[in-house]
Every structure is written in C-alpha cells, then in structure tokens.
Chain A
Amino acid sequence: MDQPLLELKDIVFSYTPTTQRSEEKPLLNIEKLILHPGEKVGIIGDNGSGKSTIVRIILGLQIPAGKVSLFGKKVLWGNHYSQLGYIGDPSLCAGYTGLPTNISVKQVLNSFKTICGVEENAVDIEESLGFDKFLEKDIKYLSNGERKKLMIFLALAKCPKLLIADEATDGLDEKSKLFVIDKIEEISKKSRLGVLWISHQHDEVARLTDTVYQLIEGKLKSPTRKRFDCKVITSPDASVCGSYSNLSSKGWSEVMAKIYTSPIISNFEVKGKRMQGEDE
C-alpha cells in the first residue's frame, strides 16, 4: 500500500475558544480522511459547513486536535510542500490566501518558473489562461478571476502529487473553467495525482472525483442515496462536457441548468447508468 498523501484522523476543531466551548458542537469532527496517490476525493457542503476550514487545517493555518499529516509527516506551518498544489479563494483580501503583493505577476511567474524548472508546461497554461492581459499588473490590483488564474498556474504548472482545490473554478470564465478541468484530468492520466476537491457545486465534484463526502454538522458522511454515472456530450464543447461519477440529483440539476443557460451549446447528449443506493 502506498504511503498516504494526506491523512486526517480524529480531527476536532472549533473557532470558539476552549473555555467557551462546553456545550457547543465543534465546527469539524472528522473521524478519518485518507487520500492515497491516484485517489480523487470530493467534499461538498453548504456555506459555513467548514469546507474551507479543512483546507486551512491541511495547510497548517489552523491547529486542531487530532492527527494531520501531509506526505507522511505532521503538518507544520514552517514546513514547505513543493508537491502540493493549492487553489483557493483569493477574494477574502488581496493576496490573503497565498499570493504575494507589491510585485507584478510577471516577477512572480519568473521566480516560480526558475525555481520549479517548469518552462514547457508553464507556457501551455500561461497561454490558455490568457496571462498576457495582466502580466505587468501588481498582484494586489488583479481581479478575483485573474488571481484565481494565477493560483491555478502556480498549482498546476509544477505537476503536483496532491492537489487541494477549494471552490477552484469560482469566478472563472467558461473557457478557463474548461481548460482547468481538462488540465487536471490530463495530469491525473500522466501521474497518480491525488485530488481533494472541495466545492458546493455537486456536478463539479462528481466530474473530478471518484469518492464524494458530504460535510454535514462537521462530519464527513458518505452518500447513501441513489446516484448515476453519466457522460455528457455537448456541441460545441463546454465546461459541462465530460464524465460524472456518482452524480446526485442536485448535481444533475446543476448540469442541466448549465446546459440550459449556456449561450454556446446547441446540442447535447447524456448517457447514464444507475448506481446502487436508496432514492434521494
């Protein structure tokens, strides 16, 4: 058995100080989450359910009770993880979730490319995400979508072993969304990329992961209800196009809504197969 890329065991976490916590339920109470190379795990949950807190714990920004390890070693804020790719929400405050400020996009890209030695893969991502339009801008003046693109570049250009994505495609245009999903699938095929995809979008999680958990009241719950494996084909290709595992009824609605509202899709086809479980 491979060494796990990510391991969370007996995690209990709350933002409320311990002294005021006696009767309150913790925000997170995760018994076990283990991710091996090649595994793709999705976590879905409503706003405020603690999805982003899981990411903060994995990155060492919050310290919970329990065991958190990355690549077999305990997570510490001071450690460096070059094989970890992270795409998060950069909208809280300019640069707050990981992008430097007072520096141009070009300067960051140059430093990154030289240290990582990723010239070939980088050019492809740079061109596809349209970096030429904001290359000279200071990072603090980037729009939400542009910051997200930069985070995607930094995460994918180095071909990581583990990708942690927290609402990774929010704020992206249709073309970039399609590219990101395709790129992740491409890296997954080439290497045994482990993916932890966290989102409130059921269809996206079903598209990119094999196992889906729902975060309810701080606990990760495996879905027990009836789902479908689907393949969606559209003409022309749109981001909604692709294979979905364990698509829930909510995910199905989201796929249909995207097809319905997309101005570019003229034809579509869906092929599906019912999986085991109860009716939702």
Chain B
Amino acid sequence: MIMRLQVIAILAKHYFGKVSQHIGLLGLFLVGILLSTLPVGWDQHSSNVTFFGFPLELYGHSREESLSALLNEFFSWAWIIVALFYLSKLLKRLSESFSVNEMLWLRLIPCSPYEVAVARACWVIGSALALGTLGAIWVLTCSVFHQVGFDGLFVNVEGLVSHVLLSGGIVVALNLVIEIGESEQNSISVISLLTPMILTPIYLGINKLADTNYTLFFPYTIPFNRGLQNTIFHFGVTALIGTFLLCLHAVAKFRFSHVRVAIED
C-alpha cells in the first residue's frame, strides 16, 4: 500500500481552500495583538492594570498576576470568536466531506480512501497548528512587550489547539460509526464544537466525587479557565485524544481500496 504525499498535498490544499478565505482570522489576531499590547499598561501608584488609561481593579494584586489575567481574558475572547466563526465552519466542511456530493468525485479519481482520510487529518491538524502558531506569536509578543511570564499565557493557545483537534476528531469518529444523512451533518458539527467545553462541568463533578488522581487524564478544554487546576495537563490529554481519533479514521480507511481493472489492455 503506497501513500502518495503529492496526492495528499493536493487534497489537503483542496480542503484548506484559498488563503484569502482566512484573511478574517489573520485580521482577528492582528487586532488582538494590538489591543493586548499598546493600550494595556500598569499603574504603579494604584497598583492596577490599565486599559486605554482606565484602571481595572479586579485582576489581581501583583503586576504579573494582573497582566496575565487580563491578557488571558483577551485570548479567551479570541478563542470564542475563533470557535464561533472559524472552527464551526471548519467542522461543518469536515462533516460534509463525508457526504455524497463531496466524496463521489473523489472516489472517481486515482486516489485511495486512506489518502483522502490522511488529507482530512492534515487539514484539521494543519488548522490547529496554524491557530497555535498565530496564538504563540500573540503570546510571545505580549510576553516580551509586557515583560511577563510565557507559561501562564500559553495555556489558552494550547486550549484552542486541543479544542480544534478534539472537535475534528469527534466529527471523523462519528462519521465512521454511524450512518449520516445530509440533514445530520450540521448537528454533528455543532455537537463536536461544544463537546470539549461541555466536558468541563462533567470533569468538575467527577473530580468532586472521585478521590483519585486518574481524573487528571480527563479531557476537557474551555476558555476563561482562570481558577481551574492542571489545565495544561487536561488540554494536552484533549489534544492527544483528538489526534488519536483523526489517526484512527485514517487507519480505518485501509479496509477500503482503490479498485482497478485486473488486466490492462
């Protein structure tokens, strides 16, 4: 079984679409970087973080704590916007990529089922990495500009990446196990978009009831996560499960093949 990288690259490019379709996303990150650097400051006298010169009193006591809290809030808002306007579209298109209209023409060209599946996985992982890269640039810029620690800010970037991976993984996994008609495609994308966040209260409930360290492996990811413990660990587990589901979907396609005439002319 040969996996042709060129075919995967063409199919993944087909799924990604044009760069111009992602201009809004780039714009959001640029605005985010601008808003979280220039207008944000620290007032030495009142020991408050300031935004456009206005003191904000509810963000902690030390400079580092206050600035990190405010910046994390900015990232969380960006995360929400990305989830609503970018991730939802990505998941809808991913879900539709299993439907007759998206699949039939692909089935009739010389590519294999697993090449299409790998291209889909690359599309999701590539989107997650692209968002992660943009987020990391944002975090680094803020960290350098405000001279605050990198670790505390990075958690939301990790959270966003894990959200994309788990939601994408759920879409492909659901398409593997159940027969889905045209009308169910939208429901699947909405369910998978919300699932990583819905898992948070479930985790909190289980954590309260169960006296065990295994809850550390419980996957969830959520913005506005101030106050939650071990988020880096939970978000990491979420990302791993999402990646596993994407890989599983590609491996499952090995049961299908590219059927050709046995004896050529």
Contacts and interface: CB of A to CB of B under 8 A. Distances in A.
Contacts of A5: 261
Contacts of B17: 102-103
B101 A82 contact: no
A98 B260 contact: no
A82 B105 CA distance: 9
Interface in B77-128: 93, 100-102, 104-113
A117 to B, nearest CB: 8
Contact of B110 (A73, A96, A116): A116
Interface string A74-111: 00101111111110000000111111111100011001
B107 A79 contact: yes
A115 B101 contact: no
Interface string B239-265: 000000000000001011111111101
B10 interface: yes
B22 interface: no
- Give the contact-size bracket for chain B: 20 to 34
B88 to A, nearest CB: 14
Nearest to B263: A3
Contacts of B7: 115
B14 A79 contact: no
B109 A191 contact: no
- Give the contact-size bracket for chain A: 35 or more
B221 to A, nearest CB: 28
A116 B261 contact: no
B109 A79 contact: no
B109 A82 contact: yes
B82 to A, nearest CB: 19
B265 A192 contact: yes
B113 A96 contact: no
Interface string A46-72: 000000000000010100000000111
Given A5-B261, A97-B100, 17 more contacts: A59-B104, A71-B261, A80-B106, A81-B107, A82-B108, A82-B111, A82-B258, A85-B108, A97-B101, A98-B101, A99-B105, A111-B10, A111-B11, A116-B109, A116-B110, A191-B265, A192-B265
Interface of A: 2-3, 5, 37, 59, 61, 70-73, 76, 78-86, 94-103, 107-108, 111-112, 114-116, 154-155, 158, 161, 191-192
29 contacts: A2-B263, A3-B263, A5-B261, A59-B104, A61-B100, A72-B259, A72-B262, A73-B257, A78-B113, A78-B255, A80-B110, A80-B259, A82-B109, A82-B258, A83-B260, A84-B108, A85-B108, A97-B100, A97-B104, A98-B101, A98-B104, A98-B108, A101-B101, A102-B93, A103-B14, A111-B14, A115-B7, A154-B108, A154-B109
